[in-house]
Structure 1
Amino acid sequence: MIGQLRGRPLELAQRTAVEAVLASGSRFPYFKLSYDRYGVEVDLRQLPGEFPLVEGAFSGEPAPTTEYYSAATSMIDQVVDNVLADGLRKGHVEHVSVFAFARLPLLVYLGRKLGDGYGVDFYQRHQTTDSWVWPNVEAPASFAADMPEVSAGGEGVLLASISGTVHENEIPEALNGLPVFRIQPIDRTPAGGIIDSRATLENLRVTLRKFFGELEKQHKNIVRLHLFGALPISAAIALGRIRDPIIQPSIVTYDRVDYGSYRPALEIR
């Protein structure tokens, strides 16, 4: 799934994906579901709302419209519900390797759509190596969830500070007073590149599973969770896939449109 994030170009040729999958050591890429043998692709780059970066200007980008998210999620639905689902029914698919570059709300949505009926591996581009191949590290990072003892009402806020720190004072005023949940690294500062290995990603996945399990156990009253995340690509997809849409809260995602300013983007049920 390829989008244009803050105008940055992305190189993701078939050869790049093949090399990354082969480097995993256990799989060989197979492209039977695509007529051109290229792969199953969701290309968001031509959608209105894929804003280019203005040189020399900071501070985020215009907030995508409701129409943008409706069109983007429809594209994801079409590929997952038709092409991929058909491959599953016919026995062509037992495992999916996911390469993605898009806005956080769409990454979480993609994870939600992938479901849990087959194996999935996530890949992301690593700044330190300029590659999609997962590096091997000796000391993977670990993560922890901080939860309030009690919560009232049906809504809460989740601050997921993984690749950066999300501060409580950045939460929109309308959400002030809601119980705040946090997920962050243990004994490390949240920073870009922290998800630097499969082992680190798995540690985060374990923490996310525990978080949603404890949420269901201790805070069953929470039916909607407002997500403010500094999340790497693989982490955002993992969060969407781990959450159980039947028994766990819906996730309201937000776009960061300038420094310290968030706008609601997409509610994932």
Structure 2
Amino acid sequence: MSETVVPTHIRCMLWGKAAGRCQYRGCNEILHIDPNTKSLMNRSYIAHIVADSPGGPRGDKVLSPKLAKDISNLMLLCDTHHRLIDVNDVAGHPVELLQAMKQEHEQRIELVTQIQEDRQSQIVLYGSNIGDHSYPISYERAVVALLPERYPADSRAIELGWKNSLYNDHEEDYWKIENENLKRQVQSKLMPLLTSGARRHISLFALAPQPLLISLGTMLSDIFPVDVYQLQREPVQKWGWDNESDDIEFHIQSPEKIHRTVALNISLSATIENNRITEVLGENVSVWTLTIKNPNNDFMKSKSHLSAFRQTIRKLMDGIKSVHGQDNRLNIFPAMAVSTAVELGRVWMPKADLPLVIYDQNKKTNKFELALEIYKNNEVVLQGNAV
């Protein structure tokens, strides 16, 4: 038996390194629970590799007193293996073997306990002028939305938009300039971090015209892990999600007649009358509608709402393609939340889905006008020019 009283702080350190389990190779028995009654109890023994007295198991005149309280010379063992190495088979357990067992066990515990979910997230801000309004996005407001589920990976956000852009969405070159700027910034600022593994998660805060948000979604796709946040307007304006919200039910209305030309009316944040679509595309158009019971600009409240939208729009795009054929184009007229616009782009699959022809409400003409066309190779076309 040991003659040395091992200090409490050394005992605690050994328990931590061993994770409360027997360090004998192949045992790993947990030592703070009775295996039969499951009662909490201390069943551990602290054994010396080199005995704390020269006459003990593996004792040494020089090393025994020197290593008596040294954690490198101590093992946490169950009763069975404590007796085995010190009484029943001392010769079969030389110093080198026990040191190897201790090292193997502690290295394995260190490796396993280092495994954790990476909670860091790169904050990405994207804003563009909407009508006469600039975007209310800031790094500080984004951090508040992240915590406590995640925390910022950097002290600054990656900004993709032009804060002080002098262009507005009713101007002729607006879509071309803004989308090209967005594309270049994603490729230069964001993609190198994602493809290199320097950032494993993105938290996106975006407020821009819906065609640009959809385009951004197609650039990010659903290959990369991205949390898309929503600006809540009521009861207090903030970025984030409500954990306690009612379920949302999306309704799909199919067209009465099937024509070659097909459109998707997304009436979520407001109601779009079909005559506004036929005014643009003509009478011979099949209009599919995605809506909710009471369309409003604050309907998207929780992550579960966004997940339900993703599932619904994914099935809807598959259904439209099966009815209208894969050599067609899908004309989209959106009135939706910013987060759903981004997610529409993210779930769109370039090789499988119909090309997207996206329209936007022009504030000056009060009509829907063509903004962007996104094709199967993820090429964006603006007013007939490939970008």
Tell me how many residue pairs correspond in the alignment. Answer: 247
Cross-structure match for 2:359: 254
Cross-structure match for 2:258: 151
Mean Cα displacement is larger for which, 40-49 or 91-100? Answer: 40-49
Cross-structure match for 2:117: none
Aligned with 1:84 (options 187, 190, 201): 190
Q: Are 2:228 and 1:228 equivalent residues in the alignment?
A: no
Query: How far, CA to CA, are the matches of 1:109 and 1:9 in structure 2?
Result: 19
Q: Are the equivalent residues in 1 in contact too, given 2:265–2:290 (CA < 8 A)? A: yes
Q: CA RMSD in A?
A: 2.0
Aligned with 1:239 (options 344, 354, 368): 344
User: Secondary structure at 1:253's aligned position in 2?
Assistant: strand
* Displacement after TM superposition at 1:162 (Å): 0.4
* Displacement after TM superposition at 1:243 (Å): 1.2
Cross-structure match for 1:29: 152
Deviations 1:169-202 (A, max 9, x none): 11224432111111112xx211111111111111
Query: How far, CA to CA, are the matches of 2:256 and 2:324 in structure 1?
Result: 9
* Displacement after TM superposition at 1:104 (Å): 1.0
Aligned with 1:38 (options 156, 180, 185): 156
Which letter does structure 1 place at the counterpart of 2:336? L
Query: How far, CA to CA, are the matches of 1:46 and 1:15 in structure 2?
Result: 19
Cross-structure match for 1:264: 370
Gaps of 5+ in 1: 32-36, 51-61
Query: How far, CA to CA, are the matches of 2:312 and 2:327 in structure 1?
Result: 19
Query: How far, CA to CA, are the matches of 2:166 and 2:283 in structure 1?
Result: 33
Instruction: Map 1:1-269 to 2 at 5 A.
Output: 1-23=126-148, 25=149, 27-31=150-154, 37-50=155-168, 63-65=170-172, 67-128=173-234, 129-148=236-255, 151-153=258-260, 155-171=261-277, 172-185=279-292, 188-221=293-326, 223-258=328-363, 261-269=367-375
User: Secondary structure at 1:100's aligned position in 2?
Assistant: strand
User: Secondary structure at 1:142's aligned position in 2?
Assistant: coil
Query: How far, CA to CA, are the matches of 1:43 and 1:138 in structure 2?
Result: 31
In structure 2, the CA distance between the partners of 1:2 and 1:182, relative to structure 1 (3 Å rule), is same
* Displacement after TM superposition at 1:143 (Å): 0.8
User: Secondary structure at 1:235's aligned position in 2?
Assistant: helix
Gaps of 5+ in 2: 1-125, 376-387
Q: Which runs of at least 4 in structure 1 moved beyond 6 Å after TM superposition?
A: none
Query: How far, CA to CA, are the matches of 1:127 and 1:145 in structure 2?
Result: 26
In structure 2, the CA distance between the partners of 1:110 and 1:179, relative to structure 1 (3 Å rule), is same
Query: How far, CA to CA, are the matches of 2:283 and 2:366 in structure 1?
Result: 15
In structure 2, the CA distance between the partners of 1:149 and 1:248, relative to structure 1 (3 Å rule), is farther
Q: Are the equivalent residues in 2 in contact too, given 1:47–1:68 (CA < 8 A)? A: no
Query: How far, CA to CA, are the matches of 1:219 and 1:49 in structure 2?
Result: 37
User: Secondary structure at 2:284's aligned position in 1?
Assistant: coil
User: Secondary structure at 2:231's aligned position in 1?
Assistant: coil
Which TM-score applies when normalising by structure 2?
0.60
User: Secondary structure at 1:64's aligned position in 2?
Assistant: coil
* Displacement after TM superposition at 1:221 (Å): 4.4
Higher relative contact order, chain-length normalized (CA < 8 Å, sep 6+): 1
Q: Are the equivalent residues in 2 in contact too, given 1:150–1:219 (CA < 8 A)? A: no
Mean Cα displacement is larger for which, 208-217 or 127-136? Answer: 208-217
* Displacement after TM superposition at 1:43 (Å): 2.1
* Displacement after TM superposition at 1:9 (Å): 4.2
In structure 2, the CA distance between the partners of 1:130 and 1:107, relative to structure 1 (3 Å rule), is same
* Displacement after TM superposition at 1:133 (Å): 1.9
